[in-house]
C-alpha cells in the first residue's frame, strides 16, 4: 500500500494544535494530529483554563451561598464537598475531551497518540516526524508541512521539585483534601486565580510576588485595585519579596522570604503553589536536526508563524514574543491553516490580544496600558468609570472595580481598555472588536448598549474620556 503523505502534520493537540488541525481539515487538507498525552486538549483543557474556571465557578457559587440571605434565600448549613468539587471539574474536562475526539472523527483527522520528533528538513518536499507511540512501537509520519504546537510546562523555582507539598498547576488540581493554608509564589494570572479559588473555599492564603505589584502585566491602576480587593478579602499579599525559600516539614512547608523593607519573614502552610511562569516544551522534538535555533527554548517565527526551517511552522506557548494564552495559540493555528490552504488570513496582532484573569474580581484588558501609551509618545486621554454607577453591578452585588479607557487625544482612537470588576472577561470582547475596527471614542459613545447590563459600564467608560459619563 502506498505510504500516506499528509498535507500537514500537527505536533501537539492543545488548543493551538487541535484548532489548526480542525481548520486545515475544514479547508480540505489531509491532516495528522500527534499528541503525547492519552487525551487531547493540552494544558488548557486538562490542567489550565478549563479546570481552573470550573473550580472558580464552584467558588463563586460557594461565595454567594455564604451570603445567600442577602439575596432572599435562607440556606441552612451548606457544606463544601471537596471530592465532588474535583469530580465536577473532571466531568467538565471529560465532556470536552470526548468532544475533541468527536471533532477529530467529524473532520477526518488522523490522530496519533505518541511523542513526535522532527527528523530534519524536508526531503523532496516531504517532512518526516518520528512518533514514539504509547504502546512502545514507532511510526514515521510523512507530511508536506509540519506545525509544531507542543506547548509549555510550569516553571519551578530553581533547586525545588514539584511534589505533594510544593505544587504547580498540575498537582494543585488533584489535591485530595482542601488545604487549610496555601502560599502562592507568583501573582500572575495563574497565581491570583488559584489564590482566589482557595480563599473562597476557606483557606488562609498568602501571596509572594517579587515585583512591586500584583498582576504586573496589567495597567498599574488595575494592580492597585486588585491589591485593595484581595486585602479586603483577607488575602495576605506580599510585594517586592526576595530570597524565597521553602523548607518542607511534617505539617507542610515553612516558606521564608525577605520583605520589601529587607526584614526576614516566614509563613507555615500546608501547601505551596509555585506559579512563576511557563517554559516552552521544545526539548527532544528534533529542533537540533533543523535550522531552528531556539531562544531560551522558545521558537521564533515571522508574522505567519513560519520558523527558520522551510515548511515548519510553530504556534502556541512555544512561540517567543507572543502571550502564552489559549486564544493566542488557537488564533495562530487558524492563521497557519488558512495560509496552508491558500485562504485569506490576518497575522496575530500582539496589541489586540485580550488578557483575562478570572479571579474574584475579574480582570480583562486589551491594548496599551496608560504607561505604555505615554511611552509610545501618544497624547493620552483617559476615562474611568466605576461599577458603582452600573445598575446591573448593583443587582450582582459587585460594585467594586472600574472600566478604564486609554485613548489618543488627537484622533480619539481607543488605544486600550482595562477592566476590573463583574463579567470583565466577557465584556472585554466588545473592546477587542472596537480596537480591531479602529473605533474612536465618539463612535463607541454612540453605540447602543442593552440595559441593564454590565456592558453598559463600557458605554459610560468610553463617555468618561470626554467627561460625559452619565451614571456617575
Ligand X SMILES: Cc1cc2nc3c(=O)[nH]c(=O)nc-3n(C[C@H](O)[C@H](O)[C@H](O)COP(=O)(O)OP(=O)(O)OC[C@H]3O[C@@H](n4cnc5c(N)ncnc54)[C@H](O)[C@@H]3O)c2cc1C
- Strands annotated E in 87-137: 110-118, 127-133
Q: Is 96 labeled as catalytic in the residue annotation? A: no
Helix axes 15-26, 326-340, angle to 10 degrees: 30
Q: Give the residue with the Cβ less far from ligand X, 37 or 407.
A: 37
Give phi and psi for 321, each to the nearest 5: 85, 0
Minimum distance of ligand X from residue 386's CB (angstroms): 26
Q: Could you say which of 23, 281, 381, 418 contacts ligand X (CB under 6 A)?
A: 281
Minimum distance of ligand X from residue 316's CB (angstroms): 2
Minimum distance of ligand X from residue 150's CB (angstroms): 3
Q: Could you say which of 209, 309, 317, 408 contacts ligand X (CB under 6 A)?
A: 317
Cell matching residue 121 = 528538513
- For residue 42, CA distances in Å to 151, 183, 325, 327 come to 8, 26, 12, 13
Q: Give the residue with the Cβ less far from ligand X, 107 or 240.
A: 107
Task: Tell whether the torsion through CA atoms of 162, 166, 168 and 169 is positive or negative.
Answer: positive
Q: Give the residue with the Cβ less far from ligand X, 15 or 412.
A: 15
Cell matching residue 240 = 517586592
Site for ligand X in 16-75 (CB under 6 A): 16-17, 34-37, 42-44, 48-49, 52
Q: Which of 64, 67, 418, 451 is catalytic?
A: 451
CA dihedral 17, 21, 22, 27 (to 10 degrees): 140
Q: Give the residue with the Cβ less far from ligand X, 11 or 338.
A: 11
Q: Could you say which of 24, 128, 147, 151 contacts ligand X (CB under 6 A)?
A: 151
Question: Backbone dihedral region of 305: left (phi > 0), alpha (psi from -120 to 50 degrees) or beta?
Answer: left
Site for ligand X in 166-225 (CB under 6 A): 169, 190
Q: Is 390 in the site for ligand X (CB under 6 A)?
A: no
- For residue 71, CA distances in Å to 59, 86, 136, 211, 395 come to 17, 27, 57, 39, 10
Minimum distance of ligand X from residue 231's CB (angstroms): 23
Minimum distance of ligand X from residue 109's CB (angstroms): 14
Q: Give the residue with the Cβ less far from ligand X, 21 or 340.
A: 21
Are 401 and 460 a contacting pair, CB within 8 Å?
Answer: no
Are 45 and 97 a contacting pair, CB within 8 Å?
Answer: yes
Minimum distance of ligand X from residue 358's CB (angstroms): 6
Minimum distance of ligand X from residue 455's CB (angstroms): 20
Minimum distance of ligand X from residue 118's CB (angstroms): 9
> Burial code of 383-418, b = ≥16 C-beta within 10 A, e = fewer?
bbbbbebbebbeeeebebbbbbbbbbeeebbbbbbb
Site for ligand X in 296-315 (CB under 6 A): none
Q: Give the residue with the Cβ less far from ligand X, 42 or 186.
A: 42
Closest by CA to 276, choosing from 184, 164, 179, 175, is 184
Give phi and psi for 404, each to the nearest 5: -120, 125
Q: Is 116 in the site for ligand X (CB under 6 A)?
A: yes
Q: Give the residue with the Cβ less far from ligand X, 173 or 439.
A: 173
Q: Could you say which of 8, 9, 10, 11 contacts ligand X (CB under 6 A)?
A: 11
| Rounded Cα gap, residues 52 and 31, in angstroms | 31
Q: Give the residue with the Cβ less far from ligand X, 133 or 293.
A: 133
| Segment interacting with ligand X, rule: CB under 6 A, options 148-156, 176-184, 264-272, 455-463 | 148-156
> Burial code of 237-260, b = ≥16 C-beta within 10 A, e = fewer?
bbbebeebebeeeeebbbbbbeee
Q: How many residues bind ligand X (CB under 6 A)?
A: 35
- For residue 159, CA distances in Å to 84, 118, 254 come to 35, 31, 16
Q: Is 327 in the site for ligand X (CB under 6 A)?
A: yes
Give phi and psi for 396, each to the nearest 5: -80, -5
Identify the three-state secondary structure at position 213. coil
| Segment interacting with ligand X, rule: CB under 6 A, options 323-331, 336-344, 360-368, 464-472 | 323-331
| Segment interacting with ligand X, rule: CB under 6 A, options 67-75, 145-153, 199-207, 365-373 | 145-153
Binding residues for ligand X (CB under 6 A): 11-17, 34-37, 42-44, 48-49, 52, 115-116, 149-152, 169, 190, 281, 285, 316-317, 324-327, 329, 358
Residues with catalytic roles: 451
Amino acid at each position: 500500500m502506498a505510504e500516506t503523505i499528509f498535507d500537514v502534520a500537527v505536533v501537539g493537540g492543545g488548543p493551538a494544535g487541535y484548532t489548526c488541525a480542525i481548520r486545515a481539515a475544514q479547508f480540505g487538507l489531509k491532516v495528522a494530529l500527534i499528541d503525547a498525552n492519552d487525551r487531547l486538549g493540552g494544558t488548557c483543557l486538562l490542567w489550565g483554563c478549563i479546570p481552573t474556571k470550573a473550580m472558580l465557578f464552584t467558588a463563586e457559587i460557594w461565595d454567594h451561598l455564604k451570603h445567600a440571605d442577602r439575596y432572599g434565600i435562607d440556606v441552612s448549613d451548606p457544606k463544601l464537598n471537596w471530592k465532588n468539587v474535583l469530580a465536577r471539574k473532571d466531568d467538565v474536562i471529560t465532556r470536552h475531551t470526548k468532544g475533541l475526539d468527536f471533532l477529530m472523527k467529524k473532520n477526518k483527522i488522523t490522530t496519533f497518540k505518541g511523542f513526535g520528533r522532527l527528523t530534519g528538513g524536508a526531503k523532496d518536499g516531504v517532512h518526516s516526524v518520528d512518533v514514539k507511540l504509547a504502546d512502545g512501537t514507532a511510526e514515521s509520519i510523512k507530511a508536506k508541512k509540519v506545525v509544531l504546537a507542543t506547548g509549555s510546562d510550569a516553571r519551578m523555582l530553581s533547586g525545588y521539585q514539584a511534589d505533594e507539598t510544593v505544587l504547580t498547576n498540575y498537582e494543585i488540581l488533584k489535591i485530595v483534601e482542601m488545604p487549610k493554608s496555601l502560599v502562592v509564589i507568583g501573582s500572575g494570572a495563574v497565581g491570583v486565580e488559584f489564590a482566589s479559588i482557595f480563599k473562597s473555599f476557606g483557606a488562609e492564603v498568602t501571596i509572594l510576588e517579587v515585583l512591586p505589584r500584583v498582576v504586573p502585566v496589567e495597567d498599574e491602576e488595575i494592580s492597585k485595585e486588585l491589591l485593595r480587593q484581595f486585602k479586603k478579602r483577607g488575602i495576605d499579599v506580599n510585594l517586592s519579596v526576595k530570597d524565597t525559600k521553602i523548607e518542607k516539614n511534617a505539617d507542610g512547608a515553612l516558606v521564608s522570604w525577605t520583605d520589601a523593607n529587607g526584614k526576614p519573614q516566614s509563613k507555615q502552610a500546608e501547601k505551596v503553589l509555585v506559579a512563576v511562569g511557563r517554559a516552552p516544551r521544545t526539548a527532544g522534538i528534533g529542533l537540533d536536526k533543523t535550522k531552528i535555533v531556539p531562544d531560551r527554548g522558545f521558537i521564533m517565527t515571522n508574522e505567519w508563524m513560519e520558523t527558520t526551517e522551510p515548511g515548519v511552522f510553530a504556534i502556541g506557548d512555544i512561540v517567543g514574543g507572543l502571550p502564552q494564552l489559549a486564544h493566542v495559540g488557537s488564533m495562530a493555528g487558524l492563521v497557519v491553516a488558512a495560509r496552508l490552504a491558500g485562504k485569506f488570513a490576518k497575522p496575530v496582532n500582539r496589541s489586540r490580544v485580550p488578557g483575562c484573569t478570572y479571579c474574584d474580581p475579574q480582570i480583562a484588558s486589551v491594548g496599551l496600558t496608560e504607561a505604555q501609551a505615554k511611552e509610545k509618545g501618544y497624547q493620552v486621554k483617559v476615562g474611568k468609570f466605576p461599577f458603582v454607577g452600573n445598575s446591573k453591578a448593583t443587582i450582582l452585588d459587585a460594585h467594586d472595580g472600574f472600566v478604564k479607557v486609554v485613548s489618543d487625544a488627537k484622533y480619539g482612537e481607543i488605544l486600550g481598555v482595562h477592566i476590573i470588576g463583574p463579567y470583565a472577561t466577557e465584556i472585554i470582547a466588545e473592546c477587542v472588536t472596537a480596537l480591531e475596527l479602529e473605533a474612536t471614542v465618539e463612535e463607541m459613545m454612540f453605540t447602543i448598549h442593552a440595559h441593564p447590563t454590565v456592558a453598559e459600564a463600557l458605554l459610560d467608560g468610553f463617555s468618561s474620556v470626554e467627561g460625559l459619563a452619565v451614571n456617575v
